Amino acid sequence: FVLISTIMNFINRQHAALLRGIHARSQGTVAIARHANEQTATKATPKPYLKATHFNSSIYPKTPITDFSSMALKRDDGDYYFEAHSEALFSALNSHLDLQQQEVIETTIAQPRISATARDMDLVEAAYAARDHESYDKILILMRHGEAKHNVFERKYVQKNGTAMGEANADGDYPVDPMLTGKGCGQMLDISRRTATFFNRDTGLQPDLVVVSPLRRAIQSALISFPYHTAQTSLSNTPWICHPMGMEQANGNKSEFVSSPQELGQMFPGVDFALFEESLVGGDVDELNGRDTVPLFESKIDLMGRTDEFLRWIKEREERVIVVSSHATWLQSLCAFPLQYEPESKGLEMFKKGEMRSVGLKFD
């Protein structure tokens, strides 16, 4: 009797889970169908692509030409020094374009630039756009990792010592290549509920490729957010690739010391770390981390070069719907420089921790 009761309880739990999954998928399907009907009924003109040669001048005034080839900023307080980073990124972009026009620039951005027009959209529109091959070449699902342990360490350090946030980095206990906190995991679980609703066969919106930064907090965030599309769970064999161009190198924090491809492979089976391993000098991660106290401050021109190269790589891939899990400064550079994109109602603010945005791309 006890055995039969246990089996029945198990069957009931599985049945309830199945019903919840069907309900979630049906919500996504209904939302997409409603969107399609509205499009047909109103024959509304789609929202225009967001395109600009420079940043929005109403947000930041253009600064005089300056050599930003070695420009780098350190975060002293606040959350990712948004204003200082944005101003430097904007100035570097304008300087690069002006000097390029004068044919006097030598920069790390050596190849012909790849650019695309981009349109901000919600997940209902993204599912609809995934079927529109004429208007969109790619659908990018851009995501910033959730709160990580170094974020908490910095806050507590400042509260305890009353010093600038940057000084926390010199503490011996500062987290190196940190994982997510419980709150960070919760932020990504919130995203996973949305992905369960909209990323499935019923809606037609399924990731063809997942790209992650080599830093553990970005990989962990993607795995939590897309639990039904990992190498272990996906029936469609969705590839997961760790791309070295997607990592954070702008803040000069020990949180940006990266783990070796071997360590990451053991921790995150199913993610392909071949590209990351090939990018290391002599295949040794110590060469990348070999800076006595903190990683090198990356210049904004170098950051723009990395996001340019990443977009070129994306364009050459055959996959259409691509998830990218990365970091605040990198995502902002990608959106502002090669994509020339400003999210609606967001200006140029950075991605919040645990935030996901969808973008439709048409390459120029």
Residue count (the chain): 364
Q: What is the pLDDT of residues 209-222, one digit of tens each?
A: 999 999 999 999 99
In the chain the first and final C-alpha atoms are separated, in Å, by 68
Q: What is the pLDDT of residues 40-80, one digit of tens each?
A: 555 444 444 333 322 232 333 333 334 443 444 444 444 44
pLDDT of 80 reads 44
Task: Taking residues 279-285, report their average pLDDT.
Answer: 70
| Cα–Cα distance measured from residue 138 to residue 157, given in angstroms and rounded to the nearest whole number | 42
Rg value, the chain, Cα: 22
Which has more confidence, 318 or 70? 318
| Cα–Cα distance measured from residue 9 to residue 115, given in angstroms and rounded to the nearest whole number | 55
Q: How many CA atoms lie within 13 A of 253 on its CB side?
A: 28
Sign of the CA dihedral with 257 first, then 263, 264, and 267 last: negative
Least reliable range by pLDDT among 118-132, 138-152, 263-277, 342-356: 342-356
Query: Is residue 263 within a helix (H) or strand (E), and if so which, with residue range?
Result: helix 261-267
53 conformational bin, left if phi > 0, alpha if psi -120 to 50, beta if neither: alpha
- Sheet with 356-363, strands from edge to edge, namely 116-121, 356-363, 138-144, 321-326, 209-212, 240-242
Task: Taking residues 305-329, report their average pLDDT.
Answer: 93
pLDDT of 235 reads 72
